[in-house]
């Protein structure tokens, strides 16, 4: 069972560089999320998607972009990396209960540790 897969696991970027964090899930989940985790700050929501073609901003979207062209994939794009974006990034997905938009268990990937220098 693959679940939620994130690549890469680690990355060092120079200030101003760009990169895409990849996230794919094989559970046919409608909802997908990107979080960042900073020490002592918990998980902050960057962007989320309720289905293919639909994305919305979370708590801390500045400096990031997302797209959701398929159900499986939800890449996160950093256009101009800044030291403030040094963090651990988690992708998560969640199923939808039938026809109702109900909260269910979120499944997380193993994370991408990004350092911007």
Would you state the structure tokens that stand for residue 67, as one six-digit string? 């797209």
Q: Which of 50, 61, 67, 73 binds other proteins (CB under 8 A)?
A: 50
Ranges within 53-72 binding other proteins (CB under 8 A) = 56, 58-59
The answer to whether the CB of 85 falls within 8 A of the CB of 115 is no
Binding mask 3-42 toward other proteins (x if CB under 8 A, else -) reads -x--------------------------x-x-x----xxx
* Range in contact with other proteins (rule: CB under 8 A) among 16-24, 48-56, 65-73, 78-86: 48-56
Burial 49-67 (b: 16+ CB within 10 A, else e): beebeebeebebbeebebb
């Amino acid at each position: 069972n693959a679940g939620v897969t994130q690549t890469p696991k680690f990355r060092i970027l120079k200030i101003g560089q760009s990169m895409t964090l990849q996230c794919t899930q094989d559970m046919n989940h409608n909802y997908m999320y990107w979080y960042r985790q900073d020490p002592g700050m918990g998980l902050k929501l960057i962007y989320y998607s309720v289905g293919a073609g639909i994305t919305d901003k979370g708590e801390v979207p500045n400096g990031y972009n997302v797209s959701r062209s398929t159900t499986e994939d939800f890449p996160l794009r950093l256009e101009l990396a800044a030291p403030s974006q040094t963090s651990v990034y988690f992708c998560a997905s969640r199923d939808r209960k039938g026809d109702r938009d109900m909260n269910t268990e979120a499944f997380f990937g193993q994370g991408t540790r990004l350092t911007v220098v």
